[in-house]
Amino acid sequence: MKRRTGFTLAESLLAITLLAVGVIAITMPFTAGAQNEQDDVRRMLGAALAQEMMEEILAKPFNDPDGASAPGPETGESSRAAFDNIDDYHGYDESAGSVTNAYGIALSEAAATDLSRHVSVAYIYVAGQDTGESPTFARITVEVRYQGDELLTVTRLKYAYPGPGPEDALDDDDNSDGGDIVEEEDA
C-alpha cells in the first residue's frame, strides 16, 4: 500500500478556495461598513447643503423690490449675490466642484467631491385660488446630486400674504414676506 504524504492537488485547491472564501467573508463586513460610512457622510453633507441653500432662499423677499418678477434673475441680477427675491434662484445650478456658500466661499470638503446643487422655483395656484390674481405660493426645490444622480431633494412651499405690491408700499412695514411653510423632504 502506497503511503500517503502531503496533499493532492485537488485537496490543495480546495483548501485555498476555502481560505479565500473565509478571507472574503471576514473582509466584506469591514469594506461594506466603510462604504456605508462614506455614503452616510455624503448624505449628511448633501442634506446640509440643501438646507443651507433653502434657508438662503427663504430669507429673501417673495416679491422683487422693483415689482414684476419672473422665475429666474431679472436684468442686472447676474450673480447669486445680486438675487433680491425668491424666484431669482430658479435655474441656479452649481456643478460638482463649484458648490459655494452664501459668502461665495467654495466648499473644500473631500466628501463634497462630485456633489452638485440645483434649484428650481415655480409659482403655483392651489384649488380655489383665482388664477387671474398674482400667485401667492411659490414652490422651491433644492436638489443635491452625486455624480449627476439625485442624492436628495428638499421642497418647500412659501406663501406670500396677498396685500399691496412693493410699488404700493409706503414704508418697510410690508407683509409680503409671507409665512406658512410646508416642507416635504424626500430622503
- The residues binding Ca ion (CB under 5 A) are 64, 69, 74, 84-85, 87-88
User: Closer CB to Ca ion, residue 74 or residue 94?
Assistant: 74
Q: How far is the CB of 105 from Ca ion (least distance, A)?
A: 23
Nearer of residues 64 and 174 to Ca ion, judged by Cβ:
64
C-beta closer to Ca ion: residue 84 or 177: 84
CB of residue 61 to Ca ion, shortest distance in Å:
9
Angstrom distance (rounded) from CA 89 to CA 78: 11
Nearest CB to Ca ion, comparing residues 83 and 146:
83
Q: From the CB of 122, what's the least distance to Ca ion, in Å?
A: 12
Between CA 154 and CA 165, with CA 159 as vertex, the angle to 5 degrees is 135
Q: With beta carbons less than 8 A apart as the criterion, state whether 139 and 37 touch.
A: no
Minimum CB separation of residue 86 from Ca ion in Å reads 8
Whether 80 and 109 have beta carbons less than 8 Å apart is answered as no
Q: Could you tell me the end-to-end alpha-carbon distance of the chain, in angstroms, rounded to an integer?
A: 70
